[in-house]
Structure 1
Amino acid sequence: MKRHALFRIALLINLLNATAAFASVPRLINYQGVLTDAVGVVLEGAHDLAFSIYEDSTATTAAWTEVHSAVPLSKGVFSVILGGLTPITDEVFAGSSRWLGIGVDSSQETAPRMRLTSVPWAIRSAVADSARVAASGGGGESLWESDGQNVYRSLGRIGLGTANPVSSLHISNSNPDVTLDMTSASTDLGPEIVLSRGGLTQARVYWARTDSAVHITNPIRDGIIIKGNRLGINVSKPRAVLHLRDATSTAWLGDPTGLLVRPYRLSGRYDQYIPFGSYSVLDVSDSSSVAQRAIMGTSLKGTGGYFSGSQGVRAGGSDYGVYASSYKLNGSSNNPIGVYANVGAEPSVTSGSKYGLRGYVSGGASTNYAVYGYATGATTNYAGYFSGNVRVTGTLTKGAGAFEIDHPLDPANMYLRHSFVESPEMLNVYSGTCVLDANGKAVVELPKYFEALNRSYRYQLTCVGSYAPVFIAQEISGNTFTIAGGIIGTTVCWQVTGVRKDAYAQAHPIIVEENKSNDQVHKYLHPQLYNKSAENGVDSNDDN
């Protein structure tokens, strides 16, 4: 390996304190040296030089590195500016000593490393770490002192915008006449901030020794008080986490457990209210068994609570994510709605899906309900009502089923209903008619998917107009079957049923008979049909 010797003949460091008061100091180092080979012969030409700064003379990890390519040498002399390619940050010179190492043409660094030292007058800059600042006049008497971390003064007052400060900190703006004072005028008060205008106090912020609370007041009302974890507005002693009082009334609207603000009553009438009603905030640390509501909205004519945003309401809880109730007042024509969702889109939005209500449940519960409906007590009860198409991708379990349409013979006045056909098996039914040919036969073609979907085929044949001993001459194969045994021109009605064998049917077969779970024993889907009370219903354990 070719070895080089480096004689460092000059080092000018312009990297000074970056936080100088009046100028931005360049973070650059002017470095010059002479490069020779191992026997002292100076080098010529261009060479790659790598400069690194270390915390000590033997450190293996550099705090900073910069490579200068093809540096020209004249009689071995070179000159470079360090920091122009890789910035030299404050952290590079954060320690008490630093060492410079130099590598030539990707070879090992020259030895030994050189310790970097201060430019003589830069030594004075070290005083800045513990300097006394803001000397006054030419005498140099200190107004401010510093201990290296804090800047402070022990005596006197500070005035901004005024030559006659009246408190520890006095800020004044003569146009308009607004002042801010920081003082401790009373023995009962701690630090105090006073906001004034036109010589009159407009607001005060202070800490009172008498109640160990922070007060924000104005000359008219008690204002805001913060005591421990309680916040009071227009009260002198908050009795809840949040305690409010009507600014125009002397009545207390809170109670020991929380806050209740009723809607304003207009003109002395109980039927006139501001559209946005009331809310209640309870102390969440209250361990009483009384039902608590962190936020409760009430409005007899209007909106109890209004939320707007990309997620209008986002709720979560150990029992209820969203709990909504509604009731109908006497004489009201409105239909109460517990939860009402209305989803729209701008006219330019023509793609994607919208959901008025979307339910999703996951986890390890014994039974999950993405949407659960329960209705009782009325003449007609609908746990769910859908006006439009309903798509179910899973298994639909029901007590009974029917279609309902406007009656074809009297659509204006009557409905027509037909019941579903039920079976303990997952059956598909196919039917049709055919006419027998000259050989008394007919070949019936079924859908192409028939055999892929069905198994366990069953047949029924009925002749129309005359009797014939028709039979299935060839069972279903290739999605066709053959009828024979009749005479030419005979019409035959046929019906074929098959049991589903598709992947879903095999994974989710109908369990015809099943024992009730322990929590449903002696419970009924329809207890009233067995002369049982509603408490004997399978839904009686659910909160409704």
Structure 2
Amino acid sequence: MKTIFTLLVICCIATSSLSQNGINYKAVVKDGDGNIVANDLIAVRFTINEGAPEGTTVYQEDHSPSTDENGLVIINIGEGNPSINLFEDIDWAANPHFLNVQINTGDGLTDMGTTQFKSVPYALSAPDTSKWEDNENGIYRLNGNVGIGTSNPIRKFDVYNEDEDVTALFQNFYAGNQAKYGIYNSLTPAGTSTKYGFYNTVGATNSTSSAFGIYNTLSTTGATGNMYGIYSLVSGNGTGSHYALYGYATGAGNYGVYAYNNSPDGYAAYFNGNVRATQRLVVGTGVPLDGLTIASKDLFLRNTNYTTIRGRYSGSGTGGEIELYMGNKPSPTNSESGFRTLQLQASETSSTGSQINLYKADGSLGISLDGDFLGLGRVITQEIEVTGGDLAEFFKVNPGNAHNNQLRPGVLLSIDESNPGDMIITTEAYDRKIAGIISGANGVKPGLLMGGSLAEEEERAIVQANQFPIALAGKVYVYANTENGTIKAGDMLTSSSIPGYAMKVTDYERAQGAIIGKAMTSLESGSGFVLVLVTLK
């Protein structure tokens, strides 16, 4: 037969004593006949409901006490095995709360009824109590705020200090394998205003010493795992801006984020991933300019193959310098390791121009391009390879009796007697004033050009009015005709009676001083281009 138990609560809930972490509950257990259940193991379940006896369950826990010889059990509510929520999370001030008690001695839980809490649990919240204080320790409480060092706390936890070395000290000496935190902060923002998980300000208007909003030290001696002085994480894919660390500074001389390192093998800041600067990135102490500014420091660029670029703020003179290295990379302590292959100097000395040096694998100079050698540009090298067709120099060409449209690449020219130093289109056969050919015909461009530069147009070589590059040596195409017969490779060429056209030489005595060069291609009949090796005779 099922035994019926009754509980005689010695001290009703209204007068139960408040323990440090819960509510002291005392009761005498009797069976259905009124007999005391002495020295017996029982199970007790406490359920706390909010708002009404059958309201929302905000907490539930189980106990397994034993009655004494008088049937008495003493249980501290809040120290059992919780199955629903945590006792310290109960908001006693929100609504009335009710206690339901169930007991089990082996036949299952029996509901012993539900009773409303009166005054005792509400000492845990005391929503309407007046200010209480402990003057000896400087601890104050006012309107739900707790203050240490201040009698008027304006936040839930307000600590004020003037002369102590440390205002707040948090220590965690845990040496196990679980994740532990000296300080753990969590923020779940909602709404549109700015939210801060940790917000700090430092006011040091009249201070001459250092002031730190956050000061953290980390000793890694003997540590083999990762250690972080400050660790911040942003995750998720929201649409706004999200910052693991946000630093903001206004005014000259202020820093949003300041990092310091005093070891050549350490890093003041280490970024693994993408780094973006929207306006200025400065290395050194110079005046920052838009973009990257490196002041009084060298710039080292390395890849995994140790090919290195070093930018120096000062070379031999007052300008900047860039050096490219191969082999072992230069380092702050050994900047000349490996071998230098290319050097670009903005200024050799304080009063000269730029220079480019190309070095061979043994470190010796291969080619030097000096932009201001004795006031002139200069190229120094042991060998020059030119891939173009001829050596040409710019001359002024006067059309004479010819039309301007006859002045084009491939036209044969002679010296203009009426204008010393100028050229003119040839107009007679065996002209002993013959001098050169306008370069650039039939796609063969000058290999070496003096006195100017070519225009962009494919078939036009004019830089300014009547200025043309004249082939003086090398191979170049010339307009020719068969006035003196078929032209074969190896024939000497001279001027013909057609203005600007060449023909083969048949009268060698007359041709002395009138030969432009030797034909390298043939022309069977009529007129056309002939490739000629320019050799004035």
Same fold per TM (> 0.5)?
A: no
- Bigger-Rg structure (1/2): 2
Higher relative CO (Cα under 8 Å, sequence separation at least 6) belongs to 2
TM-score, length of structure 1 as denominator length: 0.30
With the length of structure 2 as denominator, give the TM-score of the two structures: 0.31
